[in-house]
Copies of this chain bind each other. A is one copy, B any other.
Amino acid sequence: MRNKITDNNMKLEFISKSNNEAFARISVAAFVSQLDPTIEELSDIKTAVSEAVTNSIVHGYEEKQGIVTIICKIHENEIFIQVSDNGKGIENIEMAKQPLYTTKPNLERSGMGFTIMESFMDELNIESILGIGTKVTMRKKIKQTEDDEDIPVTLEEALRG
C-alpha cells in the first residue's frame, strides 16, 4: 500500500549552467514520483522539464549567468510545473511555439522544445516579456492505476486469500 498524497509543493532555484539540467530533471522526477507515475509519464515529465530548463539557459540567459526557478505543485493526481527565468524574453510566442522554429540554428537547436513540452504534457502556457523574462507553465494528470501490490498476481493466489 502506498500513501495517499494530498497537496505538496516545492521550489528549486539554480544557476543557469547546462550541467544543472540533469540535476533539475532528476529533482522534479523525485518529487513527482510521490504520485506513483508510470515510467513513461515520468520520462515525459523529465523531457518537458529538460526542454524548459534548457531554453532558460540557452535562450533566456544566453552567455550570461542567471537564476532558473522551478516551482512544482501536486494537487490530487495532477502535477503543475513552472519554469521561469529573468532572461531576455520571447518576442513572438506564437512563432516560438511553431515546430522547427528556432532563433539559434547555429547552436544546432532543433526548434522542437515547445512542441515536445506541448505534446508530452496535458497543458502548456507561456508568458514572456521582452527584457524581463519568461515563465513556462505545464500541467499533467498522472493516471492513477491500481496499485500492483494490492492486485493478487495469480488467480490461485487470489483464491488462497
Q: Are B15 and A8 in contact (CB under 8 A)?
A: yes
Q: How far is the CA of A62 from the CA of B13 in the complex (A)?
A: 26
Instruction: Type the 1/0 row for A3-41, where 1 means its CB is closer than 8 Å to any CB of B.
Output: 101001111111101011011001100110110000000
Contact A13–B11 (Cβ < 8 Å): yes
**Residues of A near any B CB (own CB < 8 A):** 3, 5, 8-15, 17, 19-20, 22-23, 26-27, 30-31, 33-34
Inter-chain contacts of A13 with B (CB < 8 A): 10-12
Pick 27 A–B contacts, CB within 8 A, sort by A: A3-B19, A8-B17, A8-B20, A9-B14, A9-B15, A10-B12, A10-B13, A10-B14, A10-B15, A10-B23, A11-B11, A11-B12, A11-B13, A11-B14, A12-B13, A12-B27, A14-B31, A19-B34, A20-B31, A23-B27, A23-B30, A23-B31, A23-B33, A23-B34, A26-B27, A26-B30, A27-B30
Contacts of A12 in B (CB 8 A): 10-13, 27
